Amino acid sequence: MDWHSIMQLVSLEQLLWITITLFVYVLAGWIFKFFSHNILFHPIVVGAILIAGIGVVSATPLKSYLLLVSPINWMLGPVTVALAIPLYQQIRQVYAAGSKGVFVILLGGCVAPLLAIGWLGLFDFSDPVKLSILTKSITTPLAVDTANMIGGIPELAAGVVVITGILGVMFSQVIFKLTGCDDLRAQGLALGTISHAIGTARAHQLDAKAGAFSTMALCVNGIITAIVLPLAFMLFA
Amino acid sequence: MSKNDVVKSTLAFATLILFWCLGYGLSHYLALPPALLGLLLLFIGLLCLGRVPKALAHVSQFCLRHLSLFFIPPLVAAWFYAEQLGDKLWLFLFAIMLSTFVSLCLTAWLGQRFFGHARKSVKQYDEG
């Protein structure tokens, strides 16, 4: 492969937009820190708003932006594989939580998507839209892949996952009071099961033990959902 | 960061890519997401090894901490699909809200019932 074809592979425009996205991400991280980790200023949300703003100002159509930054998506696969390390490190927590802990995760992992799709079933939504909500409680990299496999819209699934994560963290304070949930392990378990990585970040703020349980719940729920959903669709669809 | 660390980190990242490739290869035979298969293969590998190599732990920690970066483009794209939903967008958002609220209530309540009684022993674990 000579230089000319390499330059065709990665154009200057592509590099520019990837750099902009990286820059926006760093900026969004600062903003998040500045507002003392207020969940409303989560880097993904602020970053997406900033990118959308830059896109509007520079009159870049959304489709071409997504095409230009597609190299970012290439890295997502290997990064998802990295989840194996926390899973391995938390394997002791799985034993510590025992069958009860796994039961809580499984229950949460079933109720959340079933309730959501049940509600959507009452109204006239197209199938891809309905299916995109099934992966709502699992971490985004697994959700995007899984949604793709079961015939959902990956981008919409990613949006649903992020909103679920943020709502879960927002609701969690009220809910923990409402249900009298003051055990840090139970809080971590709930946050990790329902609000995946965003909830886990919050659990780490609460306490190291809550963070460990949350990481464990995130991995277990994500993996089981990502295994069960495609298999179920293969068998029944 | 010494030269040695850079080499080790590069190798660790190459390991992640390698396992993703293995997962991708396997996904032709098993109808599961490639990244998930790669994750499970690496997990089995770590179980066999019995420990996490230091460089791999560092690299994965770095990657996972900056996971948010990868979701900025999809979230921008999600807005495009959300606009297509039109009037039904609110029903769609309500579905997310309702299911998140109910399932979080359920898991928090059940978790508290299962773990809450052993509250005193939690304090001791905190140091570890």
Q: What is the pLDDT of residues A123-142, one digit of tens each?
A: 888 888 888 999 988 888 88
Q: Work out the minimum CA distance from B4 to partner chain A, whole angstroms.
A: 21
Total number of domains constituting chain A:
2
Q: Are A97 and A180 in the same domain?
A: yes
User: Residue A48 is part of which domain span?
Assistant: 3-75
Q: Work out the minimum CA distance from B106 to partner chain A, whole angstroms.
A: 7
Lowest mean pLDDT: which of A86-90, B28-32, B113-117, B118-122? Answer: B118-122
Q: Work out the minimum CA distance from B3 to partner chain A, whole angstroms.
A: 23
Q: Are A161 and A50 in the same domain?
A: no
* A136 backbone dihedrals φ, ψ, rounded to 5°: -60, -30
Mean pLDDT of chain B: 84
Q: Are A147 and A203 in the same domain?
A: yes
Token code pair at residue A165: 């994560």
- Nearest by CB to residue A176, choosing from B64, B74, B108, is B108
**pLDDT confidence of residue A21:** 92
Q: Chain B partners of A160 at a C-beta cutoff of 8 Å?
A: 78, 96
* A174 backbone dihedrals φ, ψ, rounded to 5°: -65, -45
Does the pLDDT at position A7 exceed 80? no
Chain-centroid distance, C-alpha B68: 11
DSSP, res B52: -
Q: Are A139 and A68 in the same domain?
A: no
DSSP, res A139: -
Q: Are A216 and A115 in the same domain?
A: yes
Q: Are A21 and A107 in the same domain?
A: no
Q: Chain A partners of B82 at a C-beta cutoff of 8 Å?
A: 156, 159
Q: Are A27 and A93 in the same domain?
A: no
Give residue A175's pLDDT band: very low, low, confident or very high (50, 70, 90): very high
| The last residue of a domain, from among A24, A48, A75 | A75
Q: Are A140 and A64 in the same domain?
A: no
Q: Are A121 and A217 in the same domain?
A: yes
Q: Are A110 and A62 in the same domain?
A: no
Q: Are A181 and A200 in the same domain?
A: yes
In which residue are the tokens 């509250």 written?
Answer: B119
- pTM here is 0.81
DSSP, res A119: H
Q: Are A124 and A61 in the same domain?
A: no
DSSP H helices, chain A, are: 3-9, 12-34, 43-57, 62-68, 70-81, 84-89, 91-121, 127-132, 140-150, 154-178, 184-206, 208-236
Domain coordinates in residue numbering, chain B: 1-65, 72-128
